[in-house]
């Protein structure tokens, strides 16, 4: 071979490989963690991480994982985000990738595992660890199989993570759900290699540590994750319902209503940001509140409007807590919906019970008295009990206070609690008593 041919070969090699070398030295690598149970917070974090990685022009995303699993619907959402990403995805299993974690891992282009780590055990179970019926296992098997096929991995291995009836020679005996160690995963092609930490993956992949970008979890992210936990959600529902109930029992105080409004904002806002609560679910809750108020203040008694209002409130709160596509629970399943309904109903009952038991004592506390405008209603000033209001139907008087629609009226020098059937009436408006039911007095504006 002559000298000119050798020079041409060197130039061609340099032309082909220098851009690759230059790219590897400048390519940004985005790193984020999935260390908790797979659920709304982890899904939100994954969305933010991939969005930021795209905005920064990252070529590779590394997920540092250590999870025992979580909710299938959110694992599927994370899986889809990984499969649809144009960036190269690598997962580093730092000890555990069980259940939902296994599904997310096999969606990545490459898998690295810490020595002693494991992946698998992806059967669908309830909160008590009981294996759910076949329809849930069938759906999970399909997800695992499709994900493995998309990444060129053996789908039978992925299926064995879920189904104990899948037998794989020299890998998994029949009757056992498959879980692989790091060395076993390498042997069957489910792991690229072992790595002690993320830095070793950079070396193995020819990536420059100077281009590493770590995802930052903000204070707002932590607050949202705290607010959407089932315990906190249940407590907020207790405050919402308790505030509404207390306000209806003592109209005009305002403090209880303020507590209810703030609790509702704290309940719905993070769920809306997480993509759980949709506009129609929040609207359903508001419709329920309106129906309940109409039943209490406008339509005397307890009938259709009140029952529909309670149903709408329960449905709005419960549906906001679970992922669904307008009553389509194909991914979520009835288990999550049932849990949400139980949390809502328990919180509602608890709030009413607490309001009844503690209501009177709370109103007498010095702190509460400083928060409300309080007048002493003494009999020598014209106040009487509801039992003394008999025989006033048809009598005329005037609004002693603004009626919104409840307030005070005065008839023949005596004050009564009353509800205006016309809605809001200003102080001093002439009224007459149209009817009385139990201790409730209902009045209308007099037309001159």
The DSSP 8-state label assigned to residue 210 in this structure reads G
Q: In the chain, what is the greatest distance between 2 CA atoms, to the nearest angstrom?
A: 124
What local confidence, expressed as pLDDT, does residue 224 receive? 82
Per the CB < 8 A criterion, the answer to whether 53 and 61 are in contact is yes
The tally of CA atoms less than 13 A away on the side-chain side of residue 28 is: 12
The DSSP 8-state label assigned to residue 229 in this structure reads S
204-211: long-range contacts at Cβ-Cβ below 8 A with a sequence spacing of 24 or more?
204/112, 205/60, 205/90, 205/110, 206/24, 207/24, 207/27, 207/29, 207/60, 208/24, 208/25, 208/26, 208/27, 211/25, 211/26, 211/27, 211/28, 211/29
Per the CB < 8 A criterion, the answer to whether 442 and 421 are in contact is yes
Angle at 336 between CA 85 and CA 243, to 5 degrees: 110
**Exposure b/e, 190-228, CB count within 10 A at least 16 = b:** bbbebbeebeebbeebebeeebbbebeeeeebeebbebb
Among the listed residues 66, 110, 82, 119, the one whose alpha carbon sits nearest the alpha carbon of residue 205: 110
What local confidence, expressed as pLDDT, does residue 49 receive? 93
Number of Cβ within a 10 Å radius of residue 364: 8
Per-residue pLDDT of the chain (448 residues; tens, 9 = 90+): 566 655 455 555 545 444 444 444 457 999 999 988 888 788 888 999 999 999 999 999 999 999 998 888 889 989 999 999 999 999 999 999 999 999 999 999 999 999 999 999 888 876 667 777 887 788 889 999 999 999 999 999 999 999 998 988 888 888 889 999 999 999 999 999 999 999 999 999 999 999 999 998 878 878 887 887 778 888 898 888 888 777 776 655 567 778 888 998 998 888 887 766 778 888 899 998 888 878 766 765 557 787 888 888 888 888 888 766 666 555 555 567 777 888 888 888 888 787 777 655 555 555 455 545 445 445 455 555 444 455 788 888 999 888 878 888 888 888 888 888 887 888 888 999 888 876 678 888 888 6
Tokens of 212: 């590493």
Q: State in Å, rounded, how far the first CA of the chain is from the last one.
A: 118
What local confidence, expressed as pLDDT, does residue 421 receive? 86
Q: Where are the beta strands (DSSP E) in 43-163?
A: 60-67, 88-98, 110-113, 118-120
Per the CB < 8 A criterion, the answer to whether 319 and 329 are in contact is no
For residues 115 and 105, what is the distance between their CA atoms, to the nearest angstrom?
16
Q: Give the residues across from 409 on adjacent strands.
A: 399, 416
For residues 298 and 403, what is the distance between their CA atoms, to the nearest angstrom?
13
State the residue for tokens 């890998």. Answer: 171
For residues 97 and 83, what is the distance between their CA atoms, to the nearest angstrom?
18
Global pTM reads 0.62
Among the listed residues 292, 97, 276, the one whose alpha carbon sits nearest the alpha carbon of residue 182: 97
Among the listed residues 64, 49, 70, 120, the one whose alpha carbon sits nearest the alpha carbon of residue 94: 64
CB within 8 Å of 428: residues ≥ 6 apart: 398, 399
Number of Cβ within a 10 Å radius of residue 310: 16
Q: Where are the beta strands (DSSP E) in 100-237?
A: 110-113, 118-120, 179-181, 193-194, 212-214
């Amino acid at each position: 071979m002559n000298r000119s041919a050798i020079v041409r070969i060197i130039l061609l090699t340099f032309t082909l490989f220098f851009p690759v070398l230059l790219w590897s030295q400048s390519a940004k690598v985005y790193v984020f963690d999935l260390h908790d149970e797979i659920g709304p917070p982890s899904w939100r974090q994954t969305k933010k991480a991939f969005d930021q990685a795209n905005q920064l022009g990252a070529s590779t995303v590394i997920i540092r994982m250590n999870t025992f699993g979580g909710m299938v619907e959110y694992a599927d959402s994370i899986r889809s985000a990984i499969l649809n990403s144009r960036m190269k995805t690598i997962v580093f299993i730092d000890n555990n990738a069980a259940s939902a974690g296994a599904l997310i891992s096999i969606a990545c282009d490459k898998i690295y595992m810490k020595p002693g780590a494991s992946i698998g055990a992806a059967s669908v179970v309830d909160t008590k660890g009981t294996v759910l019926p076949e329809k849930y296992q069938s759906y999970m098997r399909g997800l695992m199989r499709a994900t493995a096929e998309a990444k060129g991995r053996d789908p039978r291995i992925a299926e064995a993570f879920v189904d104990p009836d899948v037998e794989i020679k020299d890998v998994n005996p029949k009757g056992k759900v498959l879980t692989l160690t790091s060395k076993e995963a390498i042997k069957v092609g489910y792991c690229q290699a072992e790595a002690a930490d993320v830095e070793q993956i950079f070396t193995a992949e020819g990536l420059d540590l100077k281009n590493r970008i770590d995802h930052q979890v903000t204070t707002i992210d932590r607050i949202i994750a705290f607010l959407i936990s089932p315990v906190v959600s249940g407590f907020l529902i207790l405050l919402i319902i308790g505030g509404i109930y207390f306000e209806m029992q003592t109209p005009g105080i305002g403090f209880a209503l303020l507590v209810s409004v703030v609790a509702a904002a704290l309940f719905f806002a993070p769920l809306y940001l997480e993509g759980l609560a949709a506009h129609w679910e929040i609207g359903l809750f508001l419709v329920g509140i309106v129906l309940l108020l109409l039943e209490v203040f406008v339509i005397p008694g307890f009938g259709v409007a009140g029952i529909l209002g309670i149903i709408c409130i329960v449905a709005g709160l419960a549906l906001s807590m679970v992922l669904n596509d307008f009553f389509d629970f194909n991914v979520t399943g009835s288990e999550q919906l049932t849990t949400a309904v139980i949390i809502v109903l328990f919180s509602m009952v608890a709030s009413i019970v607490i309001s009844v038991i503690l209501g009177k004592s709370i109103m007498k506390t010095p702190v509460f008295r400083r928060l409300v405008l309080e007048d002493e209603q003494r009999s020598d000033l014209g106040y009487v009990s509801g039992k003394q209001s008999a025989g006033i139907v048809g009598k005329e008087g005037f609004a002693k206070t603004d009626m919104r629609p409840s307030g005070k009226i005065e008839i023949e020098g005596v004050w009564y609690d009353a509800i205006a059937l016309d809605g809001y009436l200003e102080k001093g408006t002439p009224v007459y008593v149209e009817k009385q039911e139990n201790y409730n007095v209902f009045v209308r504006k007099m037309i001159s």
